[in-house]
Amino acid sequence: MSGLKYRNRHVVQTYECDVQKEMTLPALINAMVETSGLQSHALGNTNEFMNDLGLAWIIIQYDITINRMPTRREEITLETEALSYNRFFTYRAFRAFDEAENLLAEAITTFGVMAVETRKLTTVTQELVAPYQAEEIRTMRRSPKIQPVNPEKATSMPFRVRYLDIDGNMHVNNAKYFDWIINSVDVDILRNYKMKSISIKYEKEVGYGNVIESRVSFEEMEDGALRTAHVIENGGGNACVANIFWEKR
């Protein structure tokens, strides 16, 4: 059993595509997350409603599987579904389908509720989740364990948080982290491999003007796939950790 779904259409724009003429991961994530904003708006659970309560939804983790990235001018359907919730988290799926309804990609997402003033997580109340009709669960969802960066093999690249990286809530858009992560990967991997799955866990906010370090190490798996391990470091702490599994094109 799960909660309400919401769907909308999206044509992949030229400027959303990379060297391979495939939609970039940050562009796909942005388009996916927009659907949950549209669903919330349609259900009256607007940003303004959350603001009035002094609360904000924040994304804690994505577990993404990619069957095929959509390509330039392809018309895709984006779907979001409220899956379940417990006292601390809500779980939501984002999916992209091609015109024949083949699943292109799915992102299972863990949301938390932040008290804006303290910027700390707070409990998930009935009032917040009722509109989505998702199932209440007593357990935490199991996510793939994120393997740490191998410090002996790691390379690193600095990125400055730019003015246009921050949004109306003075946050860095969560898709921007994918930009820092992907752009730190060796160009030979980017050109010759494609992403099959990604897990990313957000641990601490980064702010305007911060210079983060995007560290990466990679390991070859037995089946010829690659696993890259990532950490975004900010002022001595970890802003997020991630793993990406890649297979040869």
Residue ranges in contact with its own copies by CB under 8 A: 13-15, 17-21, 24, 26, 30-31, 33-34, 37, 41, 72-73, 162-164, 166-168, 170, 173, 175, 179, 182-183, 185, 187, 190, 208
**Closest distance of CB 171 from its own copies, Å:** 10
User: How far, CA to CA in Å, does 106 sit from each of 101, 140, 158, 171?
Assistant: 13, 20, 30, 24
C-beta of 154 vs 189, nearer to its own copies:
189
User: Closer to its own copies at the Cβ: 84 or 215?
Assistant: 215
157 phi/psi in degrees, rounded to 5: -140, 135
Report the candidate in 153, 123, 12 with the shortest Cα–Cα distance to residue 70: 12
**Residue 135 Cβ vs its own copies, minimum distance, rounded to whole Å:** 27
**Of the two residues 14 and 139, which places its CB atom closer to its own copies in the complex?**
14
How do 211-220 and 155-160 pair as beta strands?
antiparallel
Nearer Cβ to its own copies (41/194): 41
Shortest separation between residue 38's beta carbon and its own copies, angstroms: 9
CB of 227 to its own copies, least distance (A): 19
> Can you spell out the DSSP letters for 33-95?
HHHHHHHHHHTT--HHHHHHTTEEEEEEEEEEEES---BTT-EEEEEEEEEEE-SS-EEEEEE
Smaller CB distance to its own copies: residue 84 or 217?
217
Tokens 């950790």 correspond to: 241
DSSP 101: -
In the complex, least distance from residue 9 CB atom to its own copies, rounded to whole angstroms: 11
